[in-house]
């Protein structure tokens, strides 16, 4: 910030910052960001004073004490020791200030409740304030008004004729008049906290100037672990999102707001319903053995590790910091390996009571990016597949048959049921029009509605400030049978109990209830989840009967004779079953802060994160199930209760001082955190009827319950030092003890160190050049990952019951082997950074390179099963992650009256496996249409499949090339990649990973008068995906229906001779089948470019609003995910990190919902 004004070489006030000034600036900022209340307050304030022979300083204190005015000044600019006497009786403050400061070097500006005392321009002797000494050569005069982004005047702004010492400042209405040397002069306009602007006068007599806040540059405070730091002093890699960005617009979810905004942070929406959380991934895969979730800390309370941001209301959040590098995160020790997300909630900052109301409503919609065929094509597809199945199966038995054989002949030849034509499709095949032709995607996905209201009250009073809010939202999912209703509230109270003692309380509560789509209750009543159920529904069957009731069992009954997919109407199953969730959560903390002596503060915190989840499921009678006719189906109910209690106790001692040019900040602390978890799952069976739709209606029950606890004890310390704000260094250490780890390895130590150099602060650094900020940073640190089960280091006895004469007998056996040496994964990371600012920081570039090596990866190593175990958890693997990130931001550019800002980021991440289990070269996992290979020297979870050379069209082709046993024409022609003359598992090849080569985002924001507009694109490049749905309706197996993509590209000698996908065939003997699926044809390009957000807002001018009693009114429109460019055919390529529990199968997309587009209109009102 100093630079900002230095560069103007202004003869006017140079703001050298002392602490008080910094605080003042912070206050100004907070006030500016907040809605301004009572604009005319300052000017109209009347003062009564009776003071004799007191210093100016005392006068200021007195005025501050008796009014709500605040003085902001630089000590050098005000002669505080000058003694005067003041008598005022209900006098306007401006009149009084004129009197006090007349004929001094000081003048003032009033803005709102603040009085800025500034040096009188060109003060030499007794001149009138606010005017300028006439210069020798003076040809022109320009005047105008300087305003902020909302059109409010900026008093005290500097106007300088560029290249001269000629300058002026604005008066309290923001007006200025300046004499300039020539009519083409350039004016430089600067104001604290705003981006300096240059304007060509161009012979104009009146030049009005609007400044934009400089959000990024100023003494912006970044929240770090156990403290905060001015942005200029940050040495690690910390991404920050501030309130402004979060709250200007609304979006359907918190994560949606953040997606694409920060380099190195991937947020993917792969869930199915509003209760599902997005997956946040910081700098690639953090582990492939333990958990991958970042640690989330809300107001100093580290949340449970399976937490998400979902329970928080975006409107209550003040700032988010993401600690990306190990050095920044290592103060959180053993839990920080996946990065740390620090969230601060809002506080009361305004002296006036501030009432703010926000509301938005919108629609959301989205469908899988894959289409099933219509009924007529489906009929042909099933016929082709079943005929081909019959012919090839019989041929394998040495019998030559004809496709045209009737049912009796087929049965006589020994045909299986799926080698018969579907009798009921005859009319479709004959082209009879007007038959049932259901598009099940259209039945399962719908346009849904969002509503969101948020009311907050905040005030900073004399010794106490508070912020309270209540939020209410409703959100329907785009999938039938899913919705959410949520109430949140937030209370923050902070009070100065005594001169030294400060108390702070944060309480954040949320309650949500709604319906989910089948998967959350662990019920495997396929296809209970409509997201995974539409592809098994045949288009020949209706959703509803003519009378509007659900068509039950049609597909089941019709498919019984030929064993088509025996599935129940998925819409009926969803709508007639109950599947509800209730979630309650409180995150709370209380802090006592005691100032022991100057600069030394002790702080004690107690915090909690309490969660209570209840899920219920009920399936009534009369609806079929998979392979179960409606009359045979069983009524069932489940109830699942989860409670987790997380308690934190923490003490820190902080010493912060500066002497000469040394700034030192030392913190030491102790923390104890424990969490206990309990779960009870009750299944009820043997219902007499549907009257009680919950577990109480059953007559037999099974209950299983589970409890567990973990505890962690930590000691930590950190020292931050800088000399002259130029040379910066920081070091921290944390030691964690965790109950999760073996007796031999309870404790781990996690150190870090970082250094930085603000090159641009050096005297030799050229001033006034196009580059004005340069910072070099380097950091090194170690962090751990402790995300394993609570008792994984201990051998557990399993229960496996047996029955004797109809009685249950308990059996016990060893379920896992103990490992007293089990310990955390340790990631050692180096981060190098370079920050550059150009053109007075109008353009800021930040680049990072990191390299992280993770050792002792907690790997469930598959062990030889003759041991009696399938796998054993060991600290055995190693891998590394490296990448490059660049973040570019520009603001303060102008095109006429339009001011423009832009941002772009780019990041790469590459991982490499360094070590696996003993003698283990690779781990191969199977998942859907791919194998996944994790091999030493290669990436984690590489898709690993056979290569297709098209399909065999003639027997001669089969005979002349290596092929699998039983291969028939129409099957995939598999490449013998290792040229050994046969097709074996060794012919599989790696075809990319889900982890993309790079991700990028770019956007811009524009402002024109009261309008603002912005957009953001983001994308990934170099991602491969294995989609369950694509393969399930693209394999030609003809169990499920077919996708249009498959149908159009399938091979059939007559109907589609140019197709490149295997011929429909129900006879998929295992040898051929395994390969038919796991072939590169099934692997897709997951790249996309998406318009994440497109937003338009309008701020009414405060002056216009005053008459109706409002201080701020803003209207906006937002569109999210309005379009996506992608080659991916499937449900949603972003689902690759959630579809499967194991990172070793990352990229297997299953059980995900579609990309959701939303359009939202909202308003924000401040009273």
Segment 397 to 436, residues that bind another protein, using CB under 8 A: 397-398, 414, 416-418
Cβ atoms of 257 and 1018 within 8 Å: the answer is: no
- Is residue 797 at the binding interface for another protein, with CB under 8 A as the rule? yes
Can you spell out the DSSP letters for 432-498? Answer: -TT-----HHHHHB--EEEEEEEEEEEEE-SSEEEEEEEEEEEEE-SBTT-EEEEEEEEEEEEEE-S
- Is residue 656 at the binding interface for another protein, with CB under 8 A as the rule? no
Can you spell out the DSSP letters for 515-554? Answer: E--STTTT---TT-SGGGTGGGS-TTS-SB-TTSSB--SH
Q: Quick one: which of 818, 821, 950, 962 contacts another protein (CB under 8 A)?
A: 818
Q: Quick one: which of 105, 544, 641, 1073 contacts another protein (CB under 8 A)?
A: 1073
For the CA atoms of the chain, what is the radius of gyration?
35
- Is residue 872 at the binding interface for another protein, with CB under 8 A as the rule? yes
**C-alpha pair distances (Å), 989 with each of 943, 997, 1021, 1085, 1156:** 8, 19, 21, 16, 34
Segment 300 to 339, residues that bind another protein, using CB under 8 A: none
- Is residue 666 at the binding interface for another protein, with CB under 8 A as the rule? no
The candidate with the shortest Cα–Cα distance to 563, out of 412, 421, 411, 414, is 421
Site track for another protein across 916-955, x = CB under 8 A? --xxxxxxx-x-----------------------------
Phi/psi of residue 129, nearest 5 degrees: -65, 150
The candidate with the shortest Cα–Cα distance to 144, out of 136, 134, 154, is 154
Label residues 195-225 b or e (16+ Cβ within 10 Å = b): bbbbbebeeeeebebbbbbbbbbbbbbbbbb
Q: What is the nearest approach in angstroms of another protein to the Cβ of residue 863? A: 4
Q: What is the nearest approach in angstroms of another protein to the Cβ of residue 528? A: 15
- Is residue 1021 at the binding interface for another protein, with CB under 8 A as the rule? no
Q: Quick one: which of 103, 164, 812, 978 contacts another protein (CB under 8 A)?
A: 812
Q: What is the nearest approach in angstroms of another protein to the Cβ of residue 41? A: 40
Q: Quick one: which of 656, 739, 1044, 1101 contacts another protein (CB under 8 A)?
A: 739
Q: What is the nearest approach in angstroms of another protein to the Cβ of residue 945? A: 14
Which parts of 112-185 are beta strand (E)?
A: 114-119, 140-147, 158-161, 167-169, 175-180
Q: What is the nearest approach in angstroms of another protein to the Cβ of residue 98? A: 46
Instruction: Write out the two tokens for 735.
Output: 């030691």
Segment 264 to 293, residues that bind another protein, using CB under 8 A: none
Segment 527 to 586, residues that bind another protein, using CB under 8 A: 559-561, 563, 566
Q: Quick one: which of 23, 461, 898, 1071 contacts another protein (CB under 8 A)?
A: 1071
Sheet holding 238-242, edge to edge: 238-242, 317-323, 340-345, 295-298, 301-302
Secondary structure of 961-996 in the HEC alphabet? CCCCCCCCCCCEEECCCCCCCCCCHHHCEEEEECCC
Closest CB to another protein among residues 759, 861: 861
Secondary structure of 406-422 in the HEC alphabet? CHHHHHHCCCCHHHCCC
Token pair 């109830």: residue: 639
Segment 1034 to 1053, residues that bind another protein, using CB under 8 A: 1037, 1039
- Is residue 498 at the binding interface for another protein, with CB under 8 A as the rule? no
Q: Quick one: which of 66, 85, 87, 867 contacts another protein (CB under 8 A)?
A: 867
Q: Quick one: which of 181, 230, 496, 685 contacts another protein (CB under 8 A)?
A: 685
Q: What is the nearest approach in angstroms of another protein to the Cβ of residue 913? A: 15
What's the N-to-C CA distance of the chain in angstroms?
Answer: 32
Segment 695 to 724, residues that bind another protein, using CB under 8 A: 700, 702, 705-713
Segment 894 to 923, residues that bind another protein, using CB under 8 A: 918-923
- Give the binding range for another protein (CB under 8 A) out of 259-267, 318-326, 389-397, 1141-1149: 389-397
Q: What is the nearest approach in angstroms of another protein to the Cβ of residue 800? A: 4
Q: Quick one: which of 19, 137, 408, 808 contacts another protein (CB under 8 A)?
A: 808
Closest CB to another protein among residues 679, 910: 679
- Is residue 1074 at the binding interface for another protein, with CB under 8 A as the rule? yes
Closest CB to another protein among residues 596, 956: 596
- Give the binding range for another protein (CB under 8 A) out of 270-278, 466-474, 735-743, 939-947: 735-743
Segment 751 to 790, residues that bind another protein, using CB under 8 A: 790
- Is residue 1104 at the binding interface for another protein, with CB under 8 A as the rule? no
Secondary structure of 42-92 in the HEC alphabet? HHHCEEEEEEEEEEHHHHHHHHHHHCCCEEEECHHHCCCCCEEEEEEEEEE
Closest CB to another protein among residues 460, 633: 633
Q: What is the nearest approach in angstroms of another protein to the Cβ of residue 803? A: 4
Q: What is the nearest approach in angstroms of another protein to the Cβ of residue 625? A: 7
Cβ atoms of 817 and 872 within 8 Å: the answer is: yes
Q: What is the nearest approach in angstroms of another protein to the Cβ of residue 790? A: 7
Closest CB to another protein among residues 397, 1107: 397
Instruction: Write out the two tokens for 711.
Output: 């505890």
- Is residue 737 at the binding interface for another protein, with CB under 8 A as the rule? yes
The candidate with the shortest Cα–Cα distance to 559, out of 569, 549, 550, is 569
Q: What is the nearest approach in angstroms of another protein to the Cβ of residue 872? A: 5
- Is residue 644 at the binding interface for another protein, with CB under 8 A as the rule? no
- Is residue 746 at the binding interface for another protein, with CB under 8 A as the rule? yes
Q: What is the nearest approach in angstroms of another protein to the Cβ of residue 655? A: 12
Site track for another protein across 619-638, x = CB under 8 A? ------xxxxx--xxx----
CA distance 263 to 846: 10
Closest CB to another protein among residues 803, 1141: 803
The crossing angle, in degrees rounded to 10, of helices 93-101 and 56-66 is 170
The candidate with the shortest Cα–Cα distance to 510, out of 306, 269, 310, is 310
Q: Quick one: which of 357, 839, 869, 1002 contacts another protein (CB under 8 A)?
A: 869
Site track for another protein across 584-623, x = CB under 8 A? ----------x-xx--x-x-x-------------------
CA distance 1151 to 531: 7
Q: What is the nearest approach in angstroms of another protein to the Cβ of residue 789? A: 10
Tell me how far apart the 2 most distant CA atoms of the chain are, in Å: 120
Backbone angle region of 232, left / alpha / beta, with phi > 0 → left and psi within -120 to 50 → alpha? alpha
Instruction: Compute, in degrees rounded to 10, the torsion defined by CA atoms 375, 376, 377, 381.
Output: 90
Instruction: Compute the C-alpha angle 812/816/819, nearest 5°.
Output: 135
Instruction: Write out the two tokens for 740.
Output: 């999760």
Closest CB to another protein among residues 414, 522: 414
Q: What is the nearest approach in angstroms of another protein to the Cβ of residue 497? A: 15
Closest CB to another protein among residues 18, 632: 632
Q: Quick one: which of 795, 897, 980, 982 contacts another protein (CB under 8 A)?
A: 795
Q: What is the nearest approach in angstroms of another protein to the Cβ of residue 559? A: 8
CA atoms within 13 A on the CB side of 655: 9
CA distance 873 to 1117: 51
The candidate with the shortest Cα–Cα distance to 899, out of 189, 337, 125, 328, is 189
Closest CB to another protein among residues 74, 537: 537
Segment 960 to 979, residues that bind another protein, using CB under 8 A: 965-966
Q: Give the interface size with another protein as a residue count (CB under 8 A).
A: 110
Closest CB to another protein among residues 257, 714: 714
């Amino acid at each position: 910030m100093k630079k900002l004004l230095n560069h103007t070489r202004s003869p006017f006030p140079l703001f050298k910052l002392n602490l008080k000034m910094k605080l003042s600036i912070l206050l100004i900022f907070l006030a500016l960001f907040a809605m301004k209340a009572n604009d005319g307050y300052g000017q109209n304030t009347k003062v009564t004073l009776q003071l004799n022979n007191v210093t100016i300083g005392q006068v200021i204190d007195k005025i501050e004490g008796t009014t709500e005015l605040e003085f902001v000044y630089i000590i050098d600019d005000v002669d505080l020791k000058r003694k005067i006497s003041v008598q005022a009786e209900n006098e306007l403050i401006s009149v009084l200030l004129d009197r006090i400061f007349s004929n001094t070097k000081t003048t003032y500006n009033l803005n709102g409740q603040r009085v800025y005392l500034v040096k009188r321009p060109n003060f030499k002797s007794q001149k009138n304030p606010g005017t300028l000494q006439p210069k020798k050569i003076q040809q022109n005069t320009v005047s105008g008004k300087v305003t902020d982004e909302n059109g409010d005047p900026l008093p005290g702004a500097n106007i300088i004729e560029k290249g001269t010492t000629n300058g002026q400042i604005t008066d309290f209405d923001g007006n200025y008049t300046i004499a300039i040397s020539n009519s083409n002069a350039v004016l430089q306009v600067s104001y604290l906290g705003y981006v300096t602007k240059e304007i060509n006068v161009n012979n104009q007599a009146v030049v009005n100037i609007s400044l934009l806040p400089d959000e990024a540059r100023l003494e912006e405070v970044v929240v770090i672990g156990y403290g905060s730091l001015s942005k200029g002093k940050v040495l690690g890699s910390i991404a920050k999102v501030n309130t402004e960005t979060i709250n200007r617009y609304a979006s359907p979810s918190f994560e949606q707001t953040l997606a694409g905004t920060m380099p190195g942070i991937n947020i993917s929406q792969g869930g199915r319903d509003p209760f599902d959380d997005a997956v946040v991934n910081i700098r690639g895969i953090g582990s492939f053995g333990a958990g991958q979730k970042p640690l989330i800390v809300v107001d100093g309370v580290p949340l449970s590790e399976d937490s998400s941001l979902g329970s928080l209301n975006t409107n209550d959040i003040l700032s988010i910091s993401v600690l990306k590098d190990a050095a920044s995160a290592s103060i959180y020790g053993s839990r920080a390996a996946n990065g740390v997300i620090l969230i601060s909630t809002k506080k009361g900052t305004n002296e006036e009571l501030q009432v703010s109301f926000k509301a938005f409503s919108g629609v959301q919609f989205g469908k899988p990016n894959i289409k099933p065929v219509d009924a007529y094509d489906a009929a042909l597809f099933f016929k082709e597949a079943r005929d081909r199945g019959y012919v090839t199966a019989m041929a394998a038995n040495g019998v030559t048959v004809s496709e045209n054989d009737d049912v009796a002949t087929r049965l006589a030849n020994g045909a299986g049921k799926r080698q018969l034509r579907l009798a009921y499709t005859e009319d479709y095949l004959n082209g009879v029009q007007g038959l049932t032709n259901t598009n099940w995607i259209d039945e399962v996905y719908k346009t849904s509605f969002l509503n969101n209201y948020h009311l907050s009250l905040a005030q900073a009073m004399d010794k106490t400030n508070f912020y309270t809010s209540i939020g209410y939202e409703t959100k329907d999912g785009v999938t039938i049978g899913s919705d959410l209703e949520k109430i949140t509230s937030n209370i923050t109270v902070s009070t100065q109990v005594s001169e030294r003692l400060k108390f702070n309380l944060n309480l954040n509560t949320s309650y949500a209830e709604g319906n989910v789509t089948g998967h959350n209750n662990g019920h495997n009543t396929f296809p209970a989840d409509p997201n995974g159920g539409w592809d098994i529904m045949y288009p020949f069957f209706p959703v509803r009967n003519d009378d509007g009731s659900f068509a039950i069992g049609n597909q089941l009954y019709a498919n019984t004779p030929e064993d088509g997919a025996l599935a129940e109407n998925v819409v009926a199953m969803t709508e007639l079953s109950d599947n509800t969730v209730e979630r309650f959560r409180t995150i709370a903390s209380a802090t006592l802060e005691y100032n022991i002596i100057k600069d030394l503060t002790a702080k004690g915190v107690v915090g909690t994160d309490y969660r209570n989840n209840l899920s219920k499921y009920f399936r009534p009678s009369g609806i079929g199930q998979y392979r179960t006719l409606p009359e045979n189906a069983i009524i069932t109910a489940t109830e699942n209760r989860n409670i987790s209690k997380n308690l934190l106790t923490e003490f820190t001692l902080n010493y912060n001082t500066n002497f000469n040019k040394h700034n030192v900040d030392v913190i030491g602390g102790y923390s104890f955190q424990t969490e206990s978890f309990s779960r009870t799952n009750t299944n009820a069976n043997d219902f007499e009827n549907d009257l009680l739709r919950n577990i109480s209606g059953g007559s037999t029950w099974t209950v299983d319950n589970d409890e567990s606890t973990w505890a962690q004890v930590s000691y930590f310390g950190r020292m931050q030092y800088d000399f002259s704000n130029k040379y910066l260094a920081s070091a921290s250490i944390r030691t964690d003890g965790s109950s999760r780890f073996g007796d031999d390895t309870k404790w781990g130590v996690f150190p870090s160190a970082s250094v930085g150099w603000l090159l641009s602060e050096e005297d030799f650094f050229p001033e006034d050049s196009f580059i004005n900020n340069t910072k070099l940073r380097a950091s090194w640190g170690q962090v751990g990952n402790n995300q394993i089960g609570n008792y994984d280091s201990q051998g557990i006895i399993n229960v496996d019951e047996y029955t004797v004469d109809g009685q249950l007998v308990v059996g016990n056996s060893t379920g896992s082997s103990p490992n007293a040496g089990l310990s955390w994964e340790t990631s050692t990371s180096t981060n190098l950074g370079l920050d550059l600012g150009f053109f007075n920081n109008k353009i800021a570039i930040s680049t990072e390179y990191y390299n992280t090596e993770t050792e002792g990866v907690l790997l469930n190593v598959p062990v030889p099963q003759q041991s009696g175990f399938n796998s054993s958890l060991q600290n055995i693997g190693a891998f590394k992650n490296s990448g490059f990130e660049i973040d570019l931001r520009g603001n303060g550019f102008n095109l006429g009256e339009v001011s423009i800002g832009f941002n772009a980021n780019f990041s790469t991440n590459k991982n490499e496996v360094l070590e696996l289990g003993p003698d283990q070269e690779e781990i191969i996992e199977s998942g859907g249409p791919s194998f996944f290979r994790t091999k030493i020297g290669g990436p984690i979870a590489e898709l690993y499949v056979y290569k297709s050379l098209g399909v065999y069209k003639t027997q001669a082709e089969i005979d002349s090339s290596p092929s699998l046993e039983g291969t028939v024409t129409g099957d995939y022609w598999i490449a013998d990649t290792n040229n050994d003359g046969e097709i074996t598992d060794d012919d599989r090849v790696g075809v990319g990973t889900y982890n993309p080569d790079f991700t990028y985002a770019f956007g811009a924001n524009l402002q024109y008068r009261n309008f603002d507009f912005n957009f953001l694109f983001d994308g990934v490049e170099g991602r491969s995906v294995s989609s369950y749905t694509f393969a399930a309706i693209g394999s030609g197996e003809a169990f499920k229906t077919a996708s249009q993509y498959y149908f159009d590209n399938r091979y059939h000698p007559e109907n589609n001779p140019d197709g490149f996908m295997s011929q429909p065939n129900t006879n998929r003997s295992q040898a051929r089948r395994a390969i038919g699926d796991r072939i590169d044809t099934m692997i897709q390009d997951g790249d996309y470019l998406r318009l994440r957000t497109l937003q338009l807002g309008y701020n009414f001018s405060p002056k216009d609003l005053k008459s109706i009693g409002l201080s701020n009114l803003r209207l906006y429109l937002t569109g999210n995910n309005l379009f996506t460019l992608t080659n991916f055919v499937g449900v949603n390529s972003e689902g690759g990190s959630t579809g499967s529990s194991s990172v070793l199968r990352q990229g297997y997309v299953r059980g995900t919902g579609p990309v959701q587009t939303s359009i939202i209109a909202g308003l924000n009102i401040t009273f």
